[in-house]
Structure formats: C-alpha cells, structure tokens
Amino acid sequence: MLKSKILMLCFVTLITFFPLTGIMATAMASDAETLERLEKIIKQQQTQIEVLQKQMSEIKAQSMDTGSMAKSPSGLVISGKKNTSVTLYGQVNRGVMVVDDGDKTNIYQVDNDNSSTRIGILGSAKPTDGLEIGTKIEVQFESNSTADVDRNNRRGQGSNNFTKRHLDLFLKSNPFGKFSLGFGSTASDSTSETDLSGTTVIGYSAVADMAGGQLFYNKTTNALTTTTVGSAFSNMDGLGRDDRIRYDSPAFYGFSAASSYIADGGGDIALRYGTKFNQFKMAAAAAYANHGSTSTKIQYQLSSSFSVLHDSGVSLSASAGSREYKNDTNGDGLFYYAKLGYQMNYFSIGKTAFAIDYGNYEDVAQVNDEATTFGAQFVQNLKEWNTEYYIGLRQYSLDRDSTDYEDINALLSGFRVKF
C-alpha cells in the first residue's frame, strides 16, 4: 500500500513537470508577457510541490506506525497494537478407528484424543530488553473424540463446541524466570509424558487416549459393561491444566524447577532436565502434586518420566507414578510404562518412526484392579506438508475381582495436519 502511494505521487509530479518544461521552452522564444505568465505558473507549481511534500511526510509517518506492528512470516496476521507480535497456529487430527471388544467389531470416524484438533493464538510484547509479557489462548474442538465414542454411541459424540485448553498470560524475565496466571498447564502437567520416540501422536504413557471411551465386555454375563478404558488406565500425570498461578525458574545446566497453586487449594512442584551430550539427547521430569480440595478421591500423586534418544535413531522412554487415595480402602494407585523406539530418514519426504510399548496400571478405578496394555506405533512425517500419517495397534486387558472381562483390541489410523 505504501509503495503504491509513493509511485502515484511520483507519477503526479512527472505529469506536472512535463508541461512546465514545454512552457519554459516557449518562454525563451516569446516576449515579456509570456515570461510574466510563466512566473505565475512557477509559483503555482511551487505550491503544488509543497502540498505533495506534506502528503509524502504523512505517508512516511503512517508507514513507521505500520512497521512497528509485527506480522506473521506469511504477512496474513497483524497485531492490533504497536511493538507486539502475534502468531496463529493450530492442527486438525482425524482418523478411523476399528475396535474389537471381544463380542463385536465396530468402525468409528474419530478425532484423535492423543493430540486433539485445536486452534491457538500467541501474543507477546517486549517493553525492555530481557522482559517479555505474553498471552496464550488455545481451544480444542473434538467431534467424535476417541475418548467419547463407544459401541452404543458411535457418532455425534463430544461437546459440539470449543473447550478451553489455555487462557493464560505470563511475564518472563531472563534473570528471574517466568510467572504465569490463568487457565493452563500446572507445574506437574506432562511430567509423566516425556517421550522422544517421535510417535506420541498415536501412543504414549496416557494409553487410554487412543480408545478411552470403549466399554469392556463381561464374559460371564455376555453383556457390555459400563467400565470404560479411560476409567481403568491413568498415567497419574499431576494436576493437568487448571486455573492456577505458576512460576518457572530459569534453566541451570539443563535443570529447571516449577511450582503452581490452584485456585481451589491444590498445589504442586516439578523438576525437569534436558541435555544433549555426545551422541545422546536426554529429557526427564518428576513431580509431586497435592490435589487438596480439587479432588474428592485423590490425596496426592508422584509422577516421573525420562527419555533418551541416540543419534542412531534408537530411543528408550519410561514413566512411573503412584497416588494416595483419600479413602484408604481404595489402596494405592500405581503405574509403570516403557517404550522402545526407532526413527530414521528412510524417505526424502520426512522422518519415519516406529515404537512398541507396554504398561501396567494398578488400582486406578477400583481396589485390586490390574490393567495392562501393549501396543505398536508407526508414524511417517510429510515435512513439506506439515503432516504426519500414523497407525497404531493397542490391546487393553482388565483383571478385576469377581468380573471376567474380554480384552479390547483397537486400531487407529489417521493424519495430523499442522499450520
């Protein structure tokens, strides 16, 4: 827009000056009367030039204001305020799931709850060097989430509306760390989910995300029960996302600490570590979370995870956690999970990743419950399309006193497209 205005002014100036050149040539061969008329024309042209100079100054000032508004790399998203930046991002993650519950096999069109369909906006401003204030707004919209669909409800499942993931603001200072306020991740969130395998879009320690809404089938009564996969498996991942105040320390030699306080009385503390040495990349996390009045069932939880990736592409990830229930008769919840992965650039289109995993989850839904799972994952990255194709297989087993359940076998395949 700025370039167009400047070119237009230059064009107007040229059009004005060309007649002036002709008049001057005529004046040289004319009498004194012609020279007098020429002087009047010159004065008029000077007035027009002054007007043009004023307009160019105004355009220049306008361009300086516009230039202070940060744009996205594509130039399609512009901040409405000076000295700020804004980023729009999101993803769509859709797939087809086939489930055999031991009695029947059903096919579902789903949104993959391992990494839901979502959209978000990041905003930030840096009033001084070393100081940043920012916001994060992120919502998800899952139609037929894998966490909701079951044999009796195969379509039209979900809230049919946006649900919040982050409604957050933060203040970050290089020497002092980061303070966050609003709805977002607590300090202990994701401390059970450290995973460098490249396959988390289809499988990680939260194994129920792949088919959490599915119902176990009772062998004895030959009837579908109300017990879901999601209720029997939990990776005890801290306090999740909530309305909280959170502080993150700066990193020291790869270590960082965080703590948060939830509006309803809960709180947590977490320690994280990440480094790259020689041919190994390593990440780890551990946390203690006290639910306080935020849960009527859980008193506190311990969670931990680590993952190591070798330059050869081989990775090993493991997670473990425990929980103390407010009612002692519920026993103590416990889980452990392990994954072996391999990733390599087999094809020019992007990295290929494979993994197998196993998990054991005890006393999650009821005392003496023992739920186990094993799975296999494949992910092919399509880097030029910002897309991943994935397919995963998983078997869920539940051993409960006085009840004999069929195993549930699930296959989920789909695409995650990011922007």
The Cα–Cα gap between 84 and 65 comes to: 12
The Cα–Cα gap between 279 and 167 comes to: 38
The Cα–Cα gap between 299 and 329 comes to: 13
Give me the chain's average pLDDT, please.
Answer: 87
DSSP structural state of residue 16: H
CA distances from residue 199 to 124, 193, 314, 317 in whole angstroms, order as listed: 31, 12, 13, 11
pLDDT mean over 229-233:
97
pLDDT for 263:
83
> Is residue 153 over pLDDT 50?
yes
The Cα–Cα gap between 137 and 184 comes to: 9
The 3-state DSSP composition of the chain as helix, strand, coil percent (nearest 5) reads 20, 50, 30
SS3 state at 149: coil
The Cα–Cα gap between 138 and 160 comes to: 16
Contact 301, 321 (CB under 8 A): yes
pTM of the model: 0.80
pLDDT band at 66 (very low <50, low <70, confident <90, very high): very low
The Cα–Cα gap between 275 and 339 comes to: 20
Query: Which residues touch 287 (CB under 8 Å, ≥6 apart)?
Result: 187, 188, 191, 238, 268, 269, 270, 271, 301, 302, 303, 304
pLDDT in tens, 121-133: 999 999 888 899 9
The per-residue b/e assignment along 237-275, b for 16 or more CB within 10 angstroms, e otherwise, is bbbebbebebbbeeeeeeebbbbbbbeeebbbbbbbbbe
Helices in 164-239 by DSSP H: which ranges? 229-232
CA distances from residue 316 to 319, 337, 339, 354 in whole angstroms, order as listed: 11, 11, 6, 12
pLDDT for 329:
66
| Residue 85, beta-bridge partner list | 124
Count the neighbouring beta carbons within 10 Å of the beta carbon of residue 127: 8
**Rg of the Cα atoms in the chain:** 32
> Is residue 288 over pLDDT 90?
yes
* One-letter amino acid of 56: M
pLDDT in tens, 237-259: 999 999 999 999 999 999 999 99
pLDDT mean over 28-37:
61
DSSP structural state of residue 208: G
Question: In percent, how much of the chain has pLDDT > 90?
Answer: 72
Closest CA to 374 of 236, 233, 240: 233
pLDDT for 54:
62
